[in-house]
Amino acid sequence: VFAGEVPKHFDCVRDAEGHDVLKLSSIDTPCHTPDGGCRYYSYPSDLGYSSIATEWNLMCEESYKASMATSVFMLGQLGGAVIAGLISDLYGRKRALYLCLIVLTLSSISSSFSPSFTLFVATRFIAGF
């Protein structure tokens, strides 16, 4: 399962009360509707999974954010490789490994309970270290 998985089918709901529902497909139909687009989204109840795309409605104009979260994680790995190398040179590989495992565990748990996309991306960056 991918963190940024976008469902194949979702509904475009124009207002918070659920009025004016448009059936859209992320594959067949472009996200832009004739009169300006969606504000809210509704997903099938039998979807079977939840992802950051469905959790924070990263559809249409916001869909780039799901890929950005993965890119930020990879940037964290890039920086972490350099910093972990320096830490292991100074304090030994064993201590550096334990430190990295603790940081990875705490940041991964934090990212799974993130209430906002910004905090999710920040904790994923730290998890990359």
Of 16-25, 49-58, 65-74, 85-94, the range with the lowest mean pLDDT is 16-25
| Closest among 5, 122, 106 to 69, alpha carbons compared | 122
Its pTM stands at: 0.74
Looking at residue 30, its pLDDT comes to 47
